[in-house]
A and B are shown apart, each in its own frame.
Chain A
Amino acid sequence: MAKDSYTHFANTGFGRRITKALGLPQPAKLRRYSPSGPLIEGPVVLLGATEASDLIAEHLLGWDLDVRRHVGPKEKVAAVVAVFDSAHTPAELSETVLELGGLLKQLKPSARVITVFRNPAHTEDPAARAARKGIEGLTRSLAHEMRAGGTANGLILHEDLATAAPSVAGALRFLLSGRSAFVSGQFITVDSVNGALPEDWTAPLSGQVAVVTGAARGIGAAIARTLYRDGAQVILVDIPPAGEQLAAVANEVAGTALQVDITEDEAGQKILTHAEQHYGRLDIVVHNAGITRDKLLANMDPGRWNSVIAVNIESQLRMNRAFLDSELFSRTEGTVGPRIVSLASTSGIAGNRGQTNYAASKAGVIGMVSAASAQLAARHGTINAVAPGFIETEMTAKMPVATREVARRLNSLSQGGRPEDVAETIAYLVSPAAAGTSGLTLRVCGQNLVGA
């Protein structure tokens, strides 16, 4: 990982003065999750007095948070949850929005703003849909305005879903916590009452078995470590030549290493056989393995195009068929079934020069998860994608210094994310408390300016 000296400098007393005086980006040290640390420290202000917000208050109070309807003018605020489910016209947004605006200068570093509203697609009333889309717009813009590591995200609820649903709690908790440090300007949709809250929030994956592909290094290794920390037993998959690093990560997380090339026809079956032999179950699949073979399309050769498509998307489609055909991957506990998360990329959303093959494969992932969610729903399962933006990895460390420096700053948090940030989002999406969220592509990009 390349060292981000600028962020380090900008966080010294002298660096802060200089960068401010020169109008340079001021990347903050982000608040990140630790199982032993608090969920969030300081008052959480809940705006919008409706039944939905009362139920949300119950979630927050259950976590021993300092929940307020109002705060004093000098008081520092850790988070604002603005509930808009009573807004039926754009005009009706103003009261809550302006109340929210009045609190922004009181926000602590790494603060959170969460807007909660009903899914715009679920109303045919033009005024209501305009209001709901309006909240999306204001949330995205606010994310750009947030300072000192703060983020703003939205929680989009199904039309008829009560906010008491476990997955509403799961999403709120994720967005409030340090797990979502590098997630900003994004929306989490909750569509169903499926889900369960963990007995122990520090081990939400306790008893579950997960497979992570491409686990030998970088983001994949971080995913394996994070799932293990959250209580899962992990099967680590990578190509045989990566075996030495794979074994090292497996030994670190008390997992099992499985050397297999995911483009093999039998890869899915090999993973199932391994899971059956060693654990007798398989609950979570994380398709992380991926490659880049960048070239302008005019110069693209079959090798580069085909290998990227084969590894990044075709292998996932084939493995998913094997998983969905198996008994092992159909275990359901209550309303929580098997879960799949795939790695997409912001390149797959916004496109990127030199990456037609990569973007095709990653946009393909986004298409796959939206289409496959119906297949998973039949067994209370979910499938989602996570699209990382600029993440500090061995891969991005190889970028030219200037390009890397620009890429790092081109987001609302003015810094690159860490592999752990991607891993935390995945750990959330595969947790029982996210079983109501499926078919989604969630960006972990610090609100990358590219392709917003």
Chain B
Amino acid sequence: MAEKVRDAVIIGGNRIPFARAHSAYAKSSNQDMLTSALNGLVARYGLQGQQLGAVAAGAVLKHSKNFNLARESVLGTPLDPKTPAYDVQMACATGTEAIGSLANKIRLGQIDSAIGGGVDSISDAPIVVTDELRGILMEANRARSLGARLKALAKIRPGHLAPQAPGTGEPRTGLSMGEHMAITAHQWGITRREQDELAVASHRNLAAAYEEGFFDDLVTPFKGLTKDNNMRGDSTVEKLAKLSPVFGKDLGEEATLTAANSTPLTDGASAVLLGTEEWADEHDLPKLANFVDYEQGAVDFVGGAEGLLMAPAYAAARLLKRNNLSFADFEYFEIHEAFASTVLAQIKAWESEEFCRGKLGLDAPLGSIDRSKLNVTGSSLAAGHPFAATGGRIVATLAKLLHGKPGKLGFISVCAAGGQGITAIIEGR
């Protein structure tokens, strides 16, 4: 048995530029993109021929033929084929969960090195046939005679043939994520202007980070794309104010969620290299930060008791308590911008005495978050949000921000479909 918990060191990361759906990567598969992200990581850190402890990655929109997506992608890289790989899936928290669980394995002494990541493609999403047609096809498949097979197939009606693309609707409520968020945003009284300001800050921060070369060792181009193509460094609150709301139409005049303060559907992939201190040293690799701890959360959103994307608010309270920390202890905050209002609702909740006492069972509010420490190199509103790839983007970015600041802490919050979410702590070194 391992005697003590070891540090799980974040060595570095790589992602391909994120692309708005049906643009630069329209003809790329999940496996193409994940392989490319891994290849870039292997090239950056000279991992050719190395056998790693594990590779864990996933995709939210995934065809069943990609049952071994991570493993098949690893086999397409110069990594030693004896590197085990497995798929993870936890909606938009997939990447963060993959990285967090690998960090735990490293901490426990089960593995010394790992890559965690994720990929998603809206452009290459699996198209599914209707349940009715699937039933008929399965019946025909089971039929033992030609007659029986034809009889089964004769049941097909034109209406059965309409393909069903996967959506971001919640199966239990029938509402899209945006509609859910619109309700939560309205409940928390989040204004249109606040959301637009957050969106503009995201674009400007991301553009400034690119400008200063921050992403030179975090991003490797793919298919001719060199930067996230959703980024609009010149966006202004005035420009965004002209857009009409796209979610919360039932709210009429009070609807606030627009295409600009909601993340667009995006294609992309990311990967993060983790290891023990010793493994990093033996391989002459940098040690950017430690992955300290992470906490999952889930809320009862189906009956409307809590907002769909509010789980990180709860997970944060438990994570901070377990680590004896408060928000004042953090240097940077990376709160995934599923929608601008997702970030703002979480922040308002943590500032709210009523929420923190009533829902989190605390004596006092968790406190406010210094905006100058929030998403300082941009987040999903600007970069885009290829669901499973966002975790890898955030972890690698935050690790780089904290590198050279030993002991300084960074906080991560990622919400996910199904009323779930993850929060995590990273420590610079």
A→B interface (CB under 8 Å) = 236, 240-244, 246-248, 250-251, 254-261, 264, 277-280
**Contacting residues, chain B, for A254 (C-beta < 8 A):** 46, 48-49, 78
Residues of A contacting B49 in the complex (Cβ-Cβ under 8 angstroms):
254
Question: Chain B interface (Cβ within 8 Å of chain A)?
Answer: 36, 39-40, 42-46, 48-49, 77-78, 213, 215-217, 219-223, 226, 284-286
* Neighbour of B43 across the interface among A250, A261, A277, CB < 8 A: A250
List, in ascending order, chain B residues with CB within 8 A of A279's CB. Answer: 284
Question: B46 contacts A255, CB within 8 Å?
Answer: yes
Contact A278 B220 (CB under 8 A): no
A279 to B286, CA, bound (A): 12
Whether A277 pairs with B284 at a CB distance below 8 angstroms is yes
Choose among A243, A250, A261 the residue that contacts B221 (Cβ–Cβ < 8 A). Answer: A243
Partner of B39, one of A247, A255, A256, A261: A247
- Residue among A246, A261, A280 with most chain B CB within 10 A: A246
* Contact, CB under 8 Å: A244 / B220: yes
Given contacts A243-B40, A259-B217, contact A277 B286 (CB under 8 A): yes
CA A426 to CA B13, docked complex, whole Å: 33
- In angstroms, Cα B44 to Cα A258, docked, is 7
Interchain CA distance A259-B49 in the complex, whole Å: 22
Is the beta-carbon distance between B226 and A247 smaller than 8 angstroms?
A: no
Q: How many A-B pairs with Cβ below 8 Å?
A: 71
- The 8 Å CB contact of B48, one of A236, A251, A278, is A251
Inter-chain contact B44/A256, CB cutoff 8 Å: yes
**Among B40, B77, B215, B285, which residue has its beta carbon within 8 angstroms of that of A278?**
B285
Cα distance, A251 to B45, chains bound together (Å): 10
A256 touches B216 (CB 8 A): no
Please list 27 pairs of residues, one from A and one from B, whose beta carbons are closer than 8 Å in the complex, sorted by A's number: A240-B216, A240-B219, A242-B221, A243-B40, A243-B221, A243-B226, A244-B220, A244-B221, A244-B222, A244-B223, A246-B43, A247-B39, A247-B42, A247-B220, A248-B43, A250-B46, A251-B39, A251-B42, A251-B77, A251-B78, A254-B46, A254-B78, A259-B220, A260-B216, A277-B286, A278-B285, A280-B284
Q: For B44, what are the chain A residues with a Cβ–Cβ distance below 8 Å?
A: 247, 256-258
Q: Told that A256-B43, A278-B284 touch, could you supply 11 new A-B pairs with CB distance under 8 A?
A: A241-B221, A243-B40, A243-B219, A247-B39, A247-B43, A248-B43, A251-B39, A255-B46, A256-B46, A258-B217, A259-B220
In the bound assembly, the distance between CA atoms of A431 and B316 in angstroms comes to 58
What are the residues of chain A within 8 A of B36 when measuring CB–CB? 244
**Which residues of A lie under 8 Å from residue B216 when comparing CB positions?**
240, 259-260
Q: Which residues of A contact B219 (CB under 8 A)?
A: 240, 243
A residues near B220, Cβ cutoff 8 Å? 243-244, 246-247, 257, 259
CB-nearest residue of chain B to A259: B216
The residues of A that contact B223 with a CB separation of less than 8 Å are 244
Q: Pick the contact of A247: B40, B215, B285 (CB < 8 A).
A: B40
The list of the 4 closest CB pairs from A to B, nearest first, reads A247-B43, A250-B43, A257-B43, A243-B220
CB distance from A256 to the nearest CB of B (A): 4
CA distance in complex: A122, B94 (Å)? 72
**Closest CB of chain B to A248's CB: distance in Å?**
7
Cβ contacts under 8 Å, B221 to chain A: 240-244
CB of B215, distance to nearest CB on chain A (Å): 8
Contact for B45 among A256, A259, A260, A261, CB less than 8 A: A256
In the complex, the answer to whether A278 meets B46 with C-beta atoms within 8 Å is yes
Q: How far is the CA of A247 from the CA of B221 in the complex (A)?
A: 9
Query: Closest Cβ of chain B: how far from A260's Cβ, in Å?
Result: 6
Residue of A nearest to B210 (CB): A240
Cα of A261 to Cα of B217 in the assembled complex, Å: 12
Q: Which of B46, B217, B285 lies at the interface centre, i.e. has the most chain A CB atoms within 10 A of its CB?
A: B46
Q: In the docked arrangement, what's the CA distance between A236 and B48, Å? A: 14
Q: What B residues does A247 contact at CB under 8 A?
A: 39-40, 42-44, 220
Residues of B within 8 A of A259 (CB): 216-217, 220
A258 to B213: give the CA distance in the assembly, Å: 12
Chain A, Cβ-Cβ closest to B222? A244
**Are A240 and B226 also in contact (CB < 8 A) when A247-B39, A278-B285, A280-B284 are?**
yes
- Find the B residue at minimum CB distance from A266: B213
| Contact between chains at B43 and A264 (CB < 8 Å) | no
**Complex formed: what's the CA distance from A236 to B223 in Å?**
20
Q: Is A264's CB under 8 angstroms from B213's CB? A: yes
Alpha-carbon separation in the docked complex, A340 to B284 (Å) = 24
**Chain B residues near A264 (CB-CB < 8 A):** 213
Kindly report which residue of chain A lies nearest to residue B220, judged by CB atoms.
Answer: A243
Q: Once bound together, how far apart are the Cα atoms of A246 and B215, in whole Å?
A: 16
